[in-house]
Amino acid sequence: MSILTRRHLLRRAALSAAATPVGAVLGTTALATTATGLGGCQPTDQADDTATASDPATRRSFPPDFGWGAATSAYQIEGAAKEDGRGESIWDTFSHTPGRIRNGDTGDVAADHYQRYAEDLDLMRDLGLRSYRFSISWPRIQPDGTGAANRRGLDFYRRLVDGLHERGIAPMATLFHWDLPQSLQDTGGWENRDVAQRFADYATIVFDALGDRVPVWLTINEPKTVVQNGYLSGHHAPGRQDPDAAYLVAHHLQLAHGLAVRALRATGGTSRIGPAFNLHPCYPGDDTAAAAAAARLYDGYENRLYLDSALTGNYPADVLADLGSDSRMVRGIRDDDLDIISSPIDLLAVQYYTPIYVTASGGTAHRWPTSEADWQQIYPDGMYDTLTRVTRDYGPIPLTVTENGLPTPDVLGADGTVADDGRVTYLRDHLRAAHRAIAEGVPLESFHVWSLLDNFEWAEGYEQRWGLIYVDYPTQRRVFKRSAHWYRQVIADNAV
Ligand code: GCO
């Protein structure tokens, strides 16, 4: 388990101390190929910063009916932590633990979406959204994680889904975006295999209540982030630093995904379902064989662990070998588990934020400028590489991008505007990269910006602003940022 001691601290961790300046690592060598089967890294799109969707010379049209969307998650926006019988989640516990969240922030109020959802639905309509991805809070539905449904919690999501349909916006609901009921954590959380079955029970309640009104379900949001941040670095709930537990958790999250897929099929409904994986292209940090080998294994932990098990019914042999036969994960895999995990899915949700450059020693390096999130290197071609890689390696399964975005230092100006030009450039370049993948045959059907609104960015609290729409937290006033105006035009043009 050598790799476990030094890796997996990338996502949202303080990388600055560990990161090696890229120039020092990469020199001038272009990374023409990778050991991960990702294909070549194309030169970054040198797009003209002034171009808009309406410039016919540079405009790229998307397929008709492309699902232009935006995404949020329950704990990050809803607030109303004690409303209508909601139980506690591990994020309530974690955010109320001193020292865990920047500035001592919590999700108690967040963007107050639970109370203001009707106003937010109108903003989505004004934006022209065709798809809205949100998550359902498990502790609103089952306050203790088991047993009968809390009707008032379900009613909130019924109202939300109805409001989306009334405005012509397709709902896309994530069943689990990290807010595990605290009562289930008290029984061992995702280390306890039984929690996967509890998740399927919860999913069944939600499917029965909302059924075909939600045409697309996503099971587990970013299992990798739960593993890496919740159980390796410990800077997310439940705040553990236990590599051996981490990969048992990975297995149980994958199992929970498969059980939920089967639960949906058992309802006989017509909705589609799939997992939501954050995929990071892993490139060798130099042209040595050692860096190529290190990048290949890194890719196993970042991507193939989740993709292979869900799409091919196998865990990658190199990762299992690296974990070792005495690891809790390997010992925890039972007959039939991989059949459950690879239950046929209808689509795959991809979240792309950053590439990873892996050095010969298995560390990571930065090659591109970062956003305010120091783990995020801005590299639009990583979007292209990720989408084309999935299609090449796993076949033509329909894809949706369910998250892509960045935090920018947004300020509400005296004139009432928010000039987030960096977000416009970022989204335009990433959409162009996605467009290039579509043009080469990748079956990408929709794209969701992270995020609709500024919100609670986990361990970063409210300091980072990721939204298209600015939230003035003291008043809860919403203001379209420049990027929201730009995105509305992109949607209207169906082109970028
Ligand atoms: C995730 C989550 C979001 C984050 C976003 C920005 O991908 O981690 O789905 O909840 O807020 O990614 O970090």
Question: Tens digit of pLDDT for each residue in 34-53?
Answer: 333 332 232 333 333 444 55
| The pLDDT value given to residue 6 | 33
Report how far ligand 1's centroid is from the alpha carbon of 55 (Å): 32
Q: Measuring CA to CA, how many Å separate 413 from each of 56, 168, 421, 481? A: 32, 32, 14, 11
* CA torsion through residues 388, 394, 400, 405, sign: negative
Continuous segment of H or E residues that includes residue 348: strand 348-351
CA 424 to CA 49: how far, in whole Å? 9
Q: Per residue in 202-222, pLDDT tens?
A: 999 999 999 899 999 999 999
Report how far ligand 1's centroid is from the alpha carbon of 221 (Å): 9
Report how far ligand 1's centroid is from the alpha carbon of 357 (Å): 21
Q: What CATH number is associated with residue 385?
A: 3.20.20.80
Residues with CB under 6 A from ligand 1: 73, 76, 221-222, 225, 278, 351, 403, 450, 457, 466
Q: Answer whether residue 231 shows pLDDT above 50.
A: yes
Residues with catalytic function: 222, 403
Task: Give ∠ CA 71-117-153 in degrees, rounded to 5.
Answer: 95
Q: How many structural domains is the chain composed of? A: 1
| The pLDDT value given to residue 16 | 27
| The pLDDT value given to residue 35 | 30
Shortest-distance atom of ligand 1 to CA 276: 9
Q: Is the peptide bond before 238 cis (omega within 30 degrees of 0)?
A: yes
Which residue has a Cα nearest atom 5 of ligand 1?
450
pLDDT band at residue 74 using 50, 70 and 90 as cut-offs: very high
| The pLDDT value given to residue 200 | 98
Which are the contacts of 105, defined by CB distance < 8 A and separation ≥ 6? 95, 456, 461, 462, 463
Domain extent for 147: 3-493
Instruction: Characterize the bridge pairing of strands 131-135 and 170-176.
Output: parallel
Which residue has a Cα nearest atom 4 of ligand 1?
457
Test site for ligand 1: of 219, 228, 403, 423, most ligand atoms within 8 A of the Cβ: 403
| The pLDDT value given to residue 52 | 54
pTM of the model: 0.91
The answer to whether the beta carbons of residues 149 and 141 sit under 8 Å apart is yes
* Sole residue written with tokens 């970042």: 302
List the beta strands (DSSP E) in 184-340.
Answer: 216-221, 272-278, 282-284
| The pLDDT value given to residue 53 | 54
SS3 content of the chain, % helix, strand, coil (to 5): 40, 15, 45
Q: Looking at residues 261-269, what average pLDDT do you find?
A: 97
| Mean pLDDT over each residue of the chain, to the nearest integer | 91
Q: Answer whether residue 28 shows pLDDT above 90.
A: no
Partners of 453 in the beta sheet?
Answer: 469
Q: Is the peptide bond before 451 cis (omega within 30 degrees of 0)?
A: yes
Percent above pLDDT 90 for the chain: 88
pLDDT band at residue 54 using 50, 70 and 90 as cut-offs: low
The answer to whether the beta carbons of residues 169 and 156 sit under 8 Å apart is no
Partners of 377 in the beta sheet?
Answer: 370
Report how far ligand 1's centroid is from the alpha carbon of 185 (Å): 21
| The pLDDT value given to residue 57 | 78
Partners of 480 in the beta sheet?
Answer: 469
Partners of 201 in the beta sheet?
Answer: none
Percent above pLDDT 70 for the chain: 89
Q: Per residue in 380-394, pLDDT tens?
A: 999 999 999 999 999
| The pLDDT value given to residue 340 | 99
Shortest-distance atom of ligand 1 to CA 353: 12
| The pLDDT value given to residue 58 | 84
